[in-house]
Chain A
Amino acid sequence: DQQVKQNSPSLSVQEGRISILNCDYTNSMFDYFLWYKKYPAEGPTFLISISSIKDKNEDGRFTVFLNKSAKHLSLHIVPSQPGDSAVYFCAASGSRLTFGEGTQLTVNP
C-alpha cells in the first residue's frame, strides 16, 4: 500500500532551526490530512490537520502546507526544540486513516 509515502526515514536539525517533514500521496479522494507524533512505546499523538480545501494550517510552532496539484504535504516546525525529537507520521483520511512510513526527527541541542 503506497498511497501515502514519507520518503525520508530520518531528519536531523539543530535546535532553533526549522524542521520540514514531507509526505506524498496518490489518492485524490483523500479529503483530510493529519500529522501525528509518536514516541517509543506510546500511541500516535495528534499534532495538526488540514482539510483538502485549504492549503495552509498553522498552530503555534507547527504549520502544515498542502499542495493538491502535486499531491504533497509538509509539516514545518519552527523553531525546533529537542523535545520535538520523535517519529512523525502523516496520515490521509477517507473513512479510515492511511499512514505513511514515518520520519524520525532528531533535534540536536
Chain B
Amino acid sequence: EPEVTQTPSHQVTQMGQEVILRCVPISNHLYFYWYRQILGQKVEFLVSFYNNEISEKSEIFDDQFSVERPDGSNFTLKIRSTKLEDSAMYFCASSWGTSGETQYFGPGTRLLVL
C-alpha cells in the first residue's frame, strides 16, 4: 500500500540553524501539506501546496518557513533560523484532491531545537 515517507525521523539542532525536513508524498497525489504538533497540543496546519505553489498557509507559517518540491518526488519544509518554539513533530501529508479528499500522513519528524 502506498504511503507517505519522511526523513529524518529525528532532528536535533541549535537555535538559529537552518533545518530541512523531507517528505515523499504518495506518487499520484497532487496536494501536499505540512502540519505540526507541539508536545501536548493539537495538530496544527502549516501550509498546503499544489501545482508548484503554496495554495494556503496558516499564521504560523511566517517568513522563516518555506516549502519546495525540488523534483518529481520530494516535498521539503525549510525552517531558516530555528527558534526554541519550533520544537515539535512535523507531519507531511498528501491527497489526490482538496476539500473532501482524505489526507494521508507520514510518520513525522521530531524536531528538537536547543
Interface of A toward B, CB cutoff 8 Å: 1, 31-32, 34, 36, 41-46, 49, 51, 89, 91, 93-102
Give A107 Cβ to nearest chain B Cβ, in Å: 23
**In the complex, the 8 A-B pairs of residues with the closest C-beta atoms, listed nearest first:** A43-B105, A99-B43, A96-B45, A44-B105, A43-B107, A32-B100, A43-B108, A43-B106
> What is the CA–CA distance of A41 and B91 in the complex, to the nearest angstrom?
11
Closest B-chain residue to A4, C-beta based? B42
Q: Determine if B35 is an interface residue (Cβ-Cβ < 8 Å).
A: yes
Closest A-chain residue to B37, C-beta based? A99
> What is the CA–CA distance of A96 and B35 in the complex, to the nearest angstrom?
10
In B53-107, the 8 Å CB interface with A consists of 55-56, 58, 91, 93, 98-100, 102-107
Give A83 Cβ to nearest chain B Cβ, in Å: 18
Chain A residues near B107: list those with CB within 8 A: 41-43
13 contacts between A and B (CB under 8 A): A1-B44, A31-B100, A41-B107, A41-B110, A43-B6, A43-B105, A43-B106, A43-B108, A45-B105, A46-B105, A95-B99, A96-B45, A97-B45
Q: Determine if B33 is an interface residue (Cβ-Cβ < 8 Å).
A: yes
Closest A-chain residue to B46, C-beta based? A96
Closest A-chain residue to B31, C-beta based? A95
Chain B residues near A96: list those with CB within 8 A: 33, 45, 48, 56, 58
> What is the CA–CA distance of A31 and B97 in the complex, to the nearest angstrom?
14
Chain A residues near B19: list those with CB within 8 A: none
Give A6 Cβ to nearest chain B Cβ, in Å: 10
The answer to whether A46 touches B42 (Cβ under 8 A) is: no
**Residue-by-residue, is B25-56 near A (CB-CB < 8 Å gives 1, otherwise 0)?**
00000000101000000111100100000011
